[in-house]
Amino acid sequence: MEFISSGNSELDVLLGGGFVRNSSVLFLTEAGGMGEIVALNLFTNRLSLGDAGFIIDLDIPPRRIREWFRFKKFDIDKFEKSARFFMVDGFTRMYGESSSDEKYVIDKPRDIVHFSAYMVELEQIIEKNKPNVFSLVFSSNFFLFRKQGLDKVINFIFKARVMLSQFGLCVFVFDKGMLDEKSLRTLEHAFDYVLDLRISERDRKFQKYLRVIKSPSPNYQDDFVPYEIRPGGFALSTRTVEEFDYIKQQMKMLDEGILEILETRVTIQDPKFYPSIFEMIIEEFGYEEASEFMYQQGKKGPPLIEDFRKQFKIADTKKAVESFAKLTELRGHGEFEVKFDEKTNGYKFKIINSPFCSYFKGLGKAAGFLTAGIFAGAFEIYTGDNYECEEVKCIAKGDDHCEYVVKPSKI
């Protein structure tokens, strides 16, 4: 399968690698979900990545779409002048004989025969742009054709889907309120991808969620993920630890003495707990063996990293590292500073007030082997590659802070 990016790395992960080039997407929205904005964000992403694009619009005044392009500061005029974008206005005459400012207008959008004939003409117009076309169809009003027979409507959508996908990726946006259960299930079966956008109330607040219901990729993730519309565009995984608010709310004591964070049970340890274990192992086996043991133990069990990866689905490694560092800070492991080293493709972690290494102040040797192992193991779990970590500065050696270098392993 040849995958192309949605332009959103988190969404690509949910899809199982992005979109297959010549495929069709059923985009299910509901009132208040701002699904049309999500779809338009995907549209501008693909144009920026080199696609030609066109919009068949039955549902929204075309001027609103153009206003959104201006609001986003996306220069759609540039694409239009170079014949890499055009809009087909099927909305203006949906409810009467109004005039349109668009060059391409469907005169009788409620007439399924007329619309079918127009699609044949449209095929000739976009022929020269294949296979790099992204077509976006705001299509909820297709179901105003019901009086002409629901089977005819579904058949028309299926034919339009087949025609458009031969030129590249096509997305059909439907408001679920316009669909009956039978039509919805029929459409879900007909399309390659099915994305569901919905709103749920939680703690008296409304949160938007996106779910990938169907994908041809065996690696896609079927899960509801929060999203929001920001001035800069569409953003998934709003529950990041950048503001700590969500994490603070999740640190709660449940019944029967259970403390949870990220919906995972945790315990509060005395900061002397692990250092005392390290001391006992040094006494029994010596510093070198104790150091290796602590490093390997840390590498086997990075706390919360697997739960963090599953819940937040932050695909960008740099963003994930920064966010997990803040979570670790919140849990009392010291103050973190993170830097990416382009030369080694690794990371440097500066930790001030490490509770582990502060215990061994005056030792004259590095002591943060457990932390080093946790860093290496966390990177391996998150990326699937081999990593190693070395503590190059340590409070226990006499440095004013601890510093760890994490980089891909040579093994």
Rounded distance between C-alpha atoms, residue 46 and residue 51, angstroms: 6
User: What are the φ/ψ torsions at residue 86 (nearest 5 degrees)?
Assistant: -155, 160
Beta bridge partners of 337: 350
Beta bridge partners of 403: 350, 393
Beta-carbon contacts of 317 under 8 Å, excluding residues fewer than 6 positions away, are 382, 383
pTM, whole model, 2 decimals? Answer: 0.62
Instruction: Look at phi and psi of residue 233 and say left if phi exceeds 0, alpha if psi is from -120 to 50, else beta.
Output: left
What domains appear along the chain, each with residue ranges and CATH number? 3-236 (3.40.50.300), 247-408 (3.30.1380.20)
Helix, strand or coil, per DSSP, at residue 187: helix
Asked if 304 and 264 touch (Cβ cutoff 8 Å), the reply is yes
Helix, strand or coil, per DSSP, at residue 314: coil
Print pLDDT tens along the chain (411 aa). 789 999 988 888 889 889 999 999 999 998 878 889 999 999 999 999 999 999 999 999 999 999 999 988 899 999 999 989 999 999 998 877 678 889 999 988 888 888 889 999 888 888 876 778 999 999 888 877 666 677 888 888 999 999 999 999 999 999 988 888 888 999 999 999 999 998 876 666 777 889 999 999 998 888 788 888 876 678 886 444 344 444 445 455 555 666 666 666 677 777 788 889 999 999 999 999 999 999 999 888 655 677 777 666 666 777 778 877 877 777 788 889 999 887 778 899 999 999 899 999 889 999 999 999 999 988 888 888 899 999 999 999 999 999 999 998 876
Beta-carbon contacts of 10 under 8 Å, excluding residues fewer than 6 positions away, are 225, 236, 237, 313, 314, 315, 316
Rounded distance between C-alpha atoms, residue 89 and residue 321, angstroms: 45
Q: In the chain, what are the helix, strand and coil shares in percent, each to the nearest 5?
A: 40, 25, 30
H-helix or E-strand containing 91? Answer: none
